Amino acid sequence: MACHLAGFKKLPMENFTNDTIDTTQLPKFEQVPMSGLHRSYWKVILINIAILLIVFCAVYVFTFAYIEELDQYHTETAVGLAILMFLITVFSRIGYKKKGFAFREHDVLFRHGVIATNTMVIPYNRIQHVALHEGLIPRLFGLVKIEIFTAGGHSSDIEIPGIEKMQAQNIKQLLMGKIQKEL
């Protein structure tokens, strides 16, 4: 084949290898011990659920106070609202328990999910920026959210909530140091 691109040098193929990788010997991220979210973060979640309940109850009260045609569905709506709030609380607890993070020598891992568990692995050389975010309610408990941004994204790729502020600052310094080493 006589195809030659300008500026590219033809390399000899005599030393080329392309061995098969034994995928059973690869390190398993599932076996990495994950750190859980701070205990107080569950309180933050419960406060958020309580605020949601207040909003739902306000809508419920105003709806039945001003729309008389719906009075016959008063009990069913109340039961439905109670079931909905119960399910939100149960799924929030499962999600809280499943969330975890770990920092390894070359990458950061974040696990989350309720029904399906997702694990994100981001190498340090892909990280562009790290930010700490303090929400109003988490701030009351001294907690922040770590946001990790990679190249090409408009929003953060990983958001780790429920981290103590001092620990989050240490993690940010660790990540910023890793980013500098990778450059």
pLDDT, tens digit, 9 for 90 and up, residues 56-112: 999 999 988 888 888 888 889 999 999 999 999 999 999 999 999 999 888 899 999
Q: For 143-171, what is the mean pLDDT?
A: 89
Average predicted confidence (pLDDT) for the chain: 87
Q: Is the pLDDT at 53 greater than 80, yes or no?
A: yes
pLDDT at 118 over 60: yes
In contact, 131 and 168? CB cutoff 8 Å: no
Whether 25 has a pLDDT exceeding 90, the answer reads no
Neighbours of 163 (CB within 10 A): 24
**How far is Cα 140 from Cα 39, in angstroms, rounded to an integer?**
14
State both tokens at 159: 């958001």
How many other C-beta atoms are found inside a 10 Å radius of the C-beta of residue 79?
A: 10
DSSP state of 155: S
Give residue 20's pLDDT band: very low, low, confident or very high (50, 70, 90). confident
Q: Say yes or no to pLDDT of 8 above 90.
A: no
The pLDDT value recorded for residue 67 is 84
Q: Which long-range contacts (CB under 8 A, 24 or more apart) does 111-116 make?
A: 111/34
CA distances from 118 to 26, 113, 121 (A): 19, 6, 10
Higher pLDDT, 72 or 12: 72
> For residue 153, what pLDDT band results from cuts at 50, 70 and 90?
low
Q: CA 178 to CA 183: how far, in whole Å?
A: 9
pLDDT at 10: 63
What is the band of 151 on the pLDDT scale with cuts at 50, 70, 90?
confident
pLDDT of residue 51: 97
pLDDT bin (cut points 50, 70, 90) of residue 160 is very high
Q: What is the pLDDT of residue 7?
A: 58
pLDDT of res. 183: 59
